Amino acid sequence: MFRLEGQRILSPAQLKRLSEHKYSCASESLIDPILQPYWNKLTSCLPLWLAPNLITVAGLIVNILTTLVLVWYCPDAKAEPPRWGCFLCALGLFIYQSLDAVDGKQARRTGSSSPLGELFDHGCDSISTVFVALSACIAVQLGEKPGWMLFQCFTGMTMFYFAHWQTYVSGTLKFTKVDVTEAQCSIMGIHLISAIFGSSIWTTKIPVVNLEIFYLMILFSQMCCGAAFIQGVYIILTGGCGRNGSTVAGTSVLSPVIPFGLVVVPAVVISAMSTQNVYEENPCLYILAFGMVIAKVTNRLVVAHMTKSEMEYLDSVLMGPLMLFLNQYFKSFLPEYYVLWGCMLWATFDLLRYCRQVCLEICDYLHIELFRIKPTLVGKDGEKNGMGIRGPQARPPIGSRSARQHH
């Protein structure tokens, strides 16, 4: 049976383990050290009353809105997007990257670090990944090759889930030399090139190899993903930190593949079996719908890691894909386009409902507020000046954002 969230999602034992959670990260990023001075300067300009989670969600909103501009003009990802729209997407991604990098620094600066910061940051990143991947596909008119578009978008979402799968197994979030920041900078470059030269430049053939430019871009991205995938598989199979090499929750290291497979397999099958070409005709809507489903499953994986709990296989968000599957099974009793809209709206609602409830439960347990802090300035001597916040639960900064701050 699908599990619909009731009044409580996290048990008292899970909340206790979450409050004891300590962030662990290892990063070899090539670009992060270069951007550190800029991020530090930007942090110093922020007012002390500005809550880190507010910074995170502001960046996410900017990223979503700029991507939706491209979706509005190119819902099938086939038409050439407006150049100013591509520039806007590059700017929006830069703003998101900057705010995502400084929110953890702001948490340290104000003494407001908590496990909620890590969870909130990962949650926003899971949603952002969907929109960033989609915007890049629109910028290069990848809708002309819908199979490649589906593959590229799902590759991005898969790698994000895969990173947290590794964390669930090893207890440490690991970033390779070419990882999140490098991918974001590459996509900003794609948008800027499309803004300057037009998206038609990606279909230009290179004389020597006789391949369109975007094929080389795909090849490069898949090589980077392949290297990260191989390293991740090795960590999953050999790096379990639980008893007998299990996950942090003591479960099988392969268990996270099942919830993810329950999303990816239906997504591929439904698109292939559609008699109304529901994906080919509505690629952006299709990717957003299944992207929200994947974001919900990824958030549950992050929660399972931070609470050292077993991850349940079935989830209420899967009712969206189930609607599409049943509609196809009954010979498209309803137009697939409308069912797809229903899937997207349900997945978005279910994701937001879950995130809201989890955040409220954590805030209540840690006696903190989600978007409000009482500033505590941390001096060079390590002493805090001003009002302390969040009581005994306050601890050194944690969160995926910290990967950029520990250099």
Query: Which of 304, 318, 240, 368 is CA-nearest to residue 14?
Result: 304
Q: For residue 178, what pLDDT is reported?
A: 84
* Residue 190: predicted pLDDT: 94
Q: What average pLDDT does this structure show over 91-116?
A: 92
Q: How many CB atoms lie within 10 A of CB 372?
A: 13
Band of residue 374 on the pLDDT scale cut at 50, 70, 90 = low
Residue 164 lies in a domain: yes
* Burial (CB count <10 Å: 0-12, 13-18, 19+), residue 337: middle
- Which of 21, 122, 164, 305 is catalytic? The answer is 122
- DSSP H or E segment with residue 173: strand 173-175
Is the confidence at residue 81, as pLDDT, over 70? yes
Higher-confidence position of 4 and 211 = 211
122 is catalytic: yes
Query: What's residue 205's pLDDT?
Result: 85
User: What range does the domain containing 77 cover?
Assistant: 12-402
> Rounded to whole angstroms, how far apart are CA atoms 303 and 318?
18
Per-residue confidence (pLDDT) for residue 394, from 0 to 100: 37
Does residue 52 contact residue 103 with C-beta atoms inside 8 Å? Answer: yes
Burial of 2 (0-12, 13-18, 19+ CB in 10 A): exposed
Q: Closest by alpha carbon to 133, among 239, 283, 312, 335?
A: 283
Burial of 403 (0-12, 13-18, 19+ CB in 10 A): buried
pLDDT at 9 over 80: yes
Task: Specify if 236 maps to a domain.
Answer: yes
Instruction: Pick from 6-20, 287-301, 322-336 the range whose average pLDDT is largest.
Output: 287-301
Do strands 211-212 and 173-175 pair parallel, antiparallel, or not at all (unpaired)? unpaired
Residue 269 lies in a domain: yes
Helix, strand or coil, per DSSP, at residue 122: helix
Cβ 276 vs Cβ 334: under 8 Å = no
Q: What is the predicted pLDDT for the residue at 390?
A: 36
Phi and psi at residue 308, in whole multiples of 5°?
50, 55
| pLDDT the model gives residue 383 | 45
- Residue 243 has a pLDDT of 86
pLDDT tens readout for residues 16-72: 999 998 888 887 888 999 999 999 999 999 999 999 999 999 999 999 999 999 999
DSSP 201-253: GGGPEETTTTEEHHHHHHHHHHHHHHHHHHHHHHHHHH---SGGG--TTSS-T
Per cent of the chain over pLDDT 70 is 90
Lowest mean pLDDT among 112-121, 252-261, 314-323: 112-121
Single out the residue of 315, 305, 298 nearest to residue 154, CA to CA. 298
Q: What are phi and psi of 175, to 5 degrees?
A: -115, 130
Provide the pLDDT for residue 299. 96
How many domains does the structure of the chain reveal? 1
Spell 341-359 as b/e; 16+ CB within 10 A means b: ebbbebbbebbebbbebbb
* Domain-embedded: residue 22: yes
Task: Say if residue 192 is exposed, middle or buried (CB neighbours under 10 Å; 0-12, 13-18, 19+).
Answer: middle
In a domain? residue 151: yes
Model confidence over 145-195: pLDDT tens digits?
999 999 999 999 999 999 999 999 999 888 888 888 999 999 999 999 999
Q: What is the pLDDT of residue 259?
A: 94
Q: Is residue 7 a part of any domain in this protein?
A: no
Quote helix, strand, coil % in the chain, to nearest 5: 65, 5, 30
Residue 3 resides in a domain? no
5 located within any domain: no
